[in-house]
Amino acid sequence: MLVSRYVGYEERENGVDVRFDGTDESLRAVARFTSNELQCCSFAEYHITVSPPYDETVLTVTGPDGTRQVFREGFVERLEAAAV
């Protein structure tokens, strides 16, 4: 479940970077989420980054105008609300 692994996010000009802890479970959960999102939000580009020292998994979502708002309001705000 992504909510329990959520660390934070940063806005980009054309999207968001959503950070999760660096566990194998997080990586699998982010990959599942991304696979599901491809069905409804095929306008966006998704990048999953896992870099040394492997303490975070970062999902970067970018796309045309409005992508940042769609993912901030539809995804990040739900994560933020559940993390409180």
Q: What are 20's strand-pairing partners? A: 6, 57
Give the range of the structural domain holding residue 7, as residue numbers without chain letter: 3-83
Q: What are phi and psi of 12, to 5 degrees?
A: -115, 165
Q: What are phi and psi of 51, to 5 degrees?
A: -130, 155
pTM: 0.93
pLDDT (tens digit per residue) in 34-84: 999 999 899 999 999 999 999 999 999 999 999 999 999 989 999 999 976
Structurally, the chain folds into a number of domains equal to 1
